[in-house]
Structure 1
């Protein structure tokens, strides 16, 4: 959707998109947000997606609704619904094949819970540790994992380079590794490409 975001036409198209998206969403009250910051990777409710799309705009080249958490066959097999045409162009976008990495990160964050909590107690691996006490090795390991996870999340908020609005540091690395995987690049060719980019 390449229209200027300050026009009524853009605002109307966003409202139409939101209405369609939430009618066909797999999660009912949330969809993957196609704004430039979220890149179809984060689940949000209608008001948040609307705000993101007005503030950040759609992903560059975003042309039609596809892969927002709906079952893979739901749009293809449902002859009553055609994907929303955000522009007259019917091009597939490489971002349509959304990477589930960010959903996995969110799931991982829920599993980890409170990153600062390192309580001892009922850990079968550390049965010799008194309940309520903290095993120093376990404490250091949990702190290291929590710090690494926090850095991982911080990389998602960090621009790839000053002024870059297309990719966060994390998103670029994930996309680069995804491209390596899809292209069948050897480690050597990947390392050579990284050396060239320096």
Structure 2
């Protein structure tokens, strides 16, 4: 069963959903270990519908609880905040299982050039998101601060 199906199309009480959440937690914990080895992080972002990868927790049990009660945030089938790159083998396999394939990509040279540019842009964004995840966190934190003393809006 592909990710999109178990994450969004079936009941959260099914064995398939439970198994999928366990795989997600394994991926997230493995990524956390790598980050901790480099002294970068000691918490996991929560991809539940309410936390939206903006809140972090040290307990995988709490994240499991959120995922079972609230479900995953919309569209998070590529776990880029949990150690999986945008172009990882796991997500490519999942995409193939959902029916997308290389044959559906246009073949004329102009479209190929556009696709190459798009792929480069996606890879640049991936570098920012995956290798510098503090950027989003800092933006969120800064958005909660006053612009200047006495500013109310």
The structure number with the bigger radius of gyration is 1
TM-score by length of 2: 0.49
Which structure's relative contact order is higher, taking Cα pairs within 8 Å and 6+ residues apart?
2
TM-score by length of 1: 0.39
Greater helix content: 2
